[in-house]
Amino acid sequence: MSQALDQVKTEARRLLSEGLVDVFVGYKAADIPMHPQPAFISKADEADALVYDGFCANNLATYLPQLTRSTKIGMVVRGCEARAVNILALENQHSRENLFLVGVPCTGVLDWRKLTARFGENVSAAVDEGDTLQVTVDGKTQQLPRAEALHASCQRCQHPNPTWADLMIGEPLPEGDPERVWAQADEQIGKTKAERYAWFAHEAERCIRCYACREACPMCYCAECFVDHITPRWTESTTSPAGQHAWHITRAFHQTGRCVDCGACERACPMDIKMTYLTDKLNQDMQVKYGFVAGMDIETQAPFATFSLDDKDRFVE
Amino acid sequence: MAYILEKKNLSNFLTALAPEYQVFAPVKRGEYTQFEALTANEELALDDAHNTRVPPKALFLPMSETLMSYRPNGRAEMAALAEEKRVVFGMRPCDAQAVALLDTVFEAEDYNDPYWRQRRDNTLVFGLGCNQPCASCFCNSVESGPFSTLGQEVTLTDLGDAYYLQLNETKAEGLLEGLPKASPQQESEAQAIQKQAAESMPAPFKTAEVKAELDTNFNSAFWSEVSAACLGCGICTFLCPTCFCFDIVDEVQRSERVRNWDTCMFRVYSHETSGHNPRPTKRERTRQRVMHKFSYWLDHADQIGCTGCGRCVRYCPVGIDIRAIVRKAADLPLEVAHAG
Amino acid sequence: MLVSQSNPYIPMPMRVLRSYAESADGTLRTLELGFENKADHQRFFDSFVPGQFCTLSVFGKGESALGVANAAWEGDFVRFTIQRLGTVTQALHKLQPGDSVGMRGPLGNGFPIEAWKGKNLVIIGGGCAFTTLFSLIKHVQHPKLRQDYGEIVVVYGTRNSGMCMYKPELESWHEMHDMEVHQAIDVAEAGWAHHVGYVPDVVKQVSPNPENAVAVVCGPPIMTRYTLPALVEIGFPPEDVFTSMEKRMKCGIGKCGRCNIGPKYICKDGPVFSLAELQALPADV
């Protein structure tokens, strides 16, 4: 991905100087090691400050609902981000005509917490060199294979290639192995109900209701989230098991047929909560029972968003 | 007055504090540490170079706290105040200073918060200074430092195989009575460590001095720039030891009026019933957060509302660094042309 | 100003004495509450100043901050006129005499009525924000207090005549020789004998004399935004123009953090501010 940087800059410069976009969304250099910041540039010369590597790990599509529909937006996108953009366009959050996507086939984003867990908090620099990472701690630089720092979602990614890009930088990568994708969901299904619930409760217990998962997720764009609805109050806002469980379960279900498994939610969570196993199972159900994968094109509605006469209705039997 | 507690005696020392005190100390939980009430044989994470994920303000202002329960006849019954006497062992100076700062809010002269006051009155803080401040620490820029003693009854310095305990408040003296006094050599050792820690930090940047620039540039495009990437979650405020905003809600399932941590970073925080929102976008909300800490706190309490713990810096999902914001603010003009 | 024993979060138990519609369309309703505990009643009126507010608490729904609409001398009750807008105010509208409700107060700074002694009062209100101005007017009308203040000019505008609050009192004020009362409605109605127009325009027409006078403005934000500069134009210095600010509130005692305008909390440093004070604060409303 870091090899794509020069081309990303060139494209951003071109799009802005030719007036093809009003704003280009990418990343800029970090104030903090391993934490580049999403950047919104509106002048061609600002493109020089762009960066792009495995530490650029947010899902930029989450910013789209904040920008007006009439804004012409350029954005650099990985596979999952492009799928998220598709869904946003499908759900009428943005118009296709005003989006210019620069696609980068993705070799996976990096989980900075894997690096601090391994090397300690004082990682002063980490450079993504494609196959290896150069990590500097207390003045000494060490190397490790990039694969060892991949975020969990990327390890099971099935669709690294942007399904929609106006320009693709780099050659497409092989699509993922479906068997690998479902490992996390299958592991949960293999447990007894009691074990599954114990795992769920164990993870949810740490939740501090900061809603970083919600804000990092491009599919969570509701003007009023269900937890904020107070007439009547549907969910306990208290950090009680009732409140935490309701939050996690309901948010996962609201993702049914929409989650692109980018893992931005897990990366955002300050309490290291594992939550993608919930959406993994929902995604698995969508694919196995309905043959549907979210965001692969801009036409196909999610199964739960449509109705047709030959829908399966086994639950009515 | 200073004492020595050898690490090999730490477990006994803490055990001896029970049953009179409930002892809280950092323990390892997954990849991070947090303050928990110790049960027997708990392994402590005092040597962890970095701080707990959730700040120990949670021990004084719980994430969720029942204020009162109510009955169908509409009568309220105040929730029982926390009775236990506690020792919080190993609180870092940034967190302890933050708790002392929050006293100015909760124990203000006009209204005294009984829930906060009870926990504060019942708690002794044994602070642990930082021999090796982290890259994200900036306590030395906000009127604190790796061995600041504010908010601590006792301050510990890690000498390697023992802790040097400096008694700051006489009310904790009784707990240290059985310990040997520190020798002059141990005192020098502690002082050398403290000096080295302070010197290892990057040079401080201007904070309180930037108030004038912040106040003058309330309407500046600067705020749009620094808030552009903000997701609008609550991580920075919830992990912040000096943030104290709370919401009060009636939980009908339990007939309780509860207060929960809240954050100025959520849109609904300032959303009025009429539909008007004085802070409709991230720009206004980020501005509120920064101005509160680096300007309004100075107006209220003559202190900066930030103790440099660095949690917001480490855990912001989009890499927003409040140090960078304050540094940039120093370059803002002091004279601003007024819109016509 | 402690509100309940030593715990400022616990509401005082109150009982609804009277409840009646205050506007023709029923969206405004007046409640008059009596104290269950005599000690609470004593403490309340010992410190109460017009311009202060209370929070009314309906358990299961929440609390709502409301301006007090009566003067201490009026009797053993506290009056509120409530606009039905959200969950809590909806519940308050359903209360009947005999029902219980919680109250915390008096909160806030109130009008600086001591500093206003010897001055003429120009009192400008709009819509349902007239409540605390009503409290102020009732207060200074007390026979023992009236001579402490000069001439009183009242401008009170509402959307239509049905929304006008406290009609019997207003009618009686037109008869008083030491009060000049200007009522206004937005759009002309048959049989309306007073001004037609928005309050800022009516204020310009009335052109109250700024000499030895203070002006206090309470109304919807849009009305206040245009009335305050109009007063300055007429010649009122910003230190002598006052208004009552509003923001979302929860604790009411300066602890939950949310009602701030810059370094000032509306619940504690306000809600009453002079225009001069507001001009020194950031535009955070």
Q: State the average pLDDT over residues B146-156.
A: 97
Nearest CA in chain B to A58: B318
Q: Which residues of C touch B288 (CB under 8 A)?
A: 284
Same domain, A215 and A253: yes
Same domain, A8 and A88: yes
Q: What is the pLDDT of residues B168-205, one digit of tens each?
A: 999 999 999 999 999 999 999 999 999 999 999 999 99
Same domain, A95 and A194: no
Would you give the end-to-end CA distance of chain A in angstroms? 50
Same domain, A58 and A170: yes
Which residue did the predictor score with more confidence, A316 or C72?
Answer: C72
Same domain, A286 and A189: yes
Q: Which residues of B touch C284 (CB under 8 A)?
A: 218, 278-279, 284, 288
Q: Which residue type is seen at B309?
A: C
**Nearest-by-Cβ selection for A216 from B228, B317, B323:** B317
Helices C167-174 & C131-140, crossing angle to 10 degrees? 50
**Nearest-by-Cβ selection for B114 from C7, C100, C258:** C7
Domain boundary among A176, A210, A229: A176
What is the band of A244 on the pLDDT scale with cuts at 50, 70, 90? Answer: very high
Closest by CA to A74, choosing from A27, A11, A162, A28, is: A11
Task: Tell me what the pLDDT averaged over chain C comes to.
Answer: 95
Rounded to the nearest angstrom, the minimum Cα separation between A231 and chain C is 6
**Nearest-by-Cβ selection for C248 from B73, B75, B272:** B272
Q: State the average pLDDT over residues B225-246.
A: 97
What is the full DSSP assignment across C36-78? Answer: SSHHHHHHHHHH--TT-EEEEEETTTEEEEEE--S-GGG-S-E
Q: What is the pLDDT of residues B276-310, one digit of tens each?
A: 999 999 999 999 999 999 999 999 999 999 999 99
CA distance B215 to C283: 11
Same domain, A94 and A192: no
Residues 6+ apart with CB under 8 A from A228: B266, B268
* CA-to-CA dists, residue C88 to A226, C58, C94, angstroms: 19, 7, 10
Q: Which residues of A touch C89 (CB under 8 A)?
A: none
Q: State the average pLDDT over residues B9-34.
A: 92
Residues 6+ apart with CB under 8 A from A81: A59, A60, A61, A75, A162, A218, A260, A262
The per-residue pLDDT for C3 is 41
pLDDT at B19 over 90: no
Specify if A204 maps to a domain: yes
Q: What is the pLDDT of residues B326-338, one digit of tens each?
A: 999 999 998 876 6
Across C209-242, b (16+ Cβ under 10 Å) vs e yields ebeebbbbbbbbbebbeebbebbbebebebebbb
Rounded to the nearest angstrom, the minimum Cα separation between A313 and chain B is 35
What range defines the domain where residue A14 resides?
1-107+156-176
Same domain, A8 and A91: yes
The per-residue pLDDT for A203 is 95
Cβ–Cβ of B319/A32 closer than 8 Å? yes
Task: Tell me what the pLDDT averaged over chain A comes to.
Answer: 92
Specify if A57 maps to a domain: yes
Same domain, A245 and A274: yes
Q: What is the pLDDT of residues A90-117, one digit of tens each?
A: 999 998 899 999 999 999 999 999 999 8
Same domain, A163 and A186: no
Residues 6+ apart with CB under 8 A from A13: A44, A45, A47
Rounded to the nearest angstrom, the minimum Cα separation between B215 and chain A is 24
Specify if A207 maps to a domain: yes
CB-based contact A287:A155 (threshold 8 Å): no
Q: Up-side HSE of residue B56: CA atoms within 13 Å toward CB?
A: 36
B residues 265-294 lying closer than 8 A (beta carbon) to C: 269-274, 276, 278-279, 284, 288, 291-292
The per-residue pLDDT for A2 is 67
Same domain, A96 and A15: yes
Find chains touching chain B: ≥3 CB pairs under 8 Å.
A, C
pLDDT at A119 over 80: yes
Domain boundary among A143, A176, A209: A176
pLDDT at B125 over 80: yes
Specify if A300 maps to a domain: no
**CB-neighbour burial class of residue A19 (10 A; exposed 0-12, middle 13-18, buried 19+):** exposed
Same domain, A68 and A162: yes
The per-residue pLDDT for A316 is 64
Q: Which residues of C touch B271 (CB under 8 A)?
A: 248
Q: State the average pLDDT over residues B245-258.
A: 93
Q: State the average pLDDT over residues C114-129.
A: 97
CA distance A135 to A33: 10
Cβ–Cβ of B248/C254 closer than 8 Å? no
Question: Hey, what domains does chain C have and what are their CATH numbers?
Answer: 12-107 (2.40.30.10), 120-244 (3.40.50.80)
Q: Does A224 touch chain C (CB under 8 A)?
A: no
**Nearest-by-Cβ selection for B296 from C10, C85, C262:** C262
Closest by CA to C156, choosing from C188, C191, C180, C189, is: C180
Specify if A306 maps to a domain: no
CB-based contact C153:C232 (threshold 8 Å): no
Q: Which residues of A touch B315 (CB under 8 A)?
A: 270
Specify if A142 maps to a domain: no
Q: What is the pLDDT of residues A8-65, one digit of tens each?
A: 999 999 999 999 999 999 999 988 899 999 999 999 999 999 999 999 999 999 999 9
Rounded to the nearest angstrom, the minimum Cα separation between C87 and chain A is 6
Specify if A282 maps to a domain: yes
Same domain, A190 and A41: no
Specify if A72 maps to a domain: yes
ipTM score assigned to the predicted complex: 0.94
Q: How many domains does chain A have?
A: 2
Q: What is the pLDDT of residues A147-194, one digit of tens each?
A: 999 999 999 898 999 988 999 999 999 987 766 678 888 899 999 999
